[in-house]
Amino acid sequence: MMLKDTLLYLAQNPRLRDFVVQNKLTRNVSRRFVAGEILDDAAYATRLLNDRGIQVALDLLGENVSTQEEAKAAVRAYCSAIELITKTSIAANISVKLTALGLDIGRAVCEENLALLLSVGQQHNVFVCVDMEASTYTEQTCAIVREAQKQYPQVGTVIQSYLYRSRQDIEQLVGQGMRIRLVKGAYKEEPDIAYQEKADVDQNYVQLMKILLARGNFPAIATHDEAMIDAACAFVREHGISKKSFEFQMLYGIRRDLQGKLVKEGYNMRVYVPYGSHWYPYLMRRMAERPANLMFVVTNAWH
Q: State the angle between helix axes of 256-264 and 226-238 in degrees (0 to 180), rounded to the nearest 10.
A: 10
Task: Tell me the three-class secondary structure of 160-192, residue by residue.
Answer: ECCECCHHHHHHHHHHCCCEEEEECCCCCCCCC
Active site residue 167: no
Per annotation, catalytic residue among 131, 169, 179, 285: 131
b/e string for 92-111 if b means 16 or more Cβ within 10 A?
bbbbbbbbbbbbbbeeebbb
Active site residue 192: no
Instruction: State how far Cα 241 lies from the chain centre.
Output: 24
| Cβ burial, residue 222 (10 Å; 0-12/13-18/19+) | buried
3 state SS of 56: strand
Helix or strand holding residue 122 (H, E): helix 107-124
Per annotation, catalytic residue among 59, 169, 179, 181: 181
Q: Could you list the active site residues?
A: 131, 181
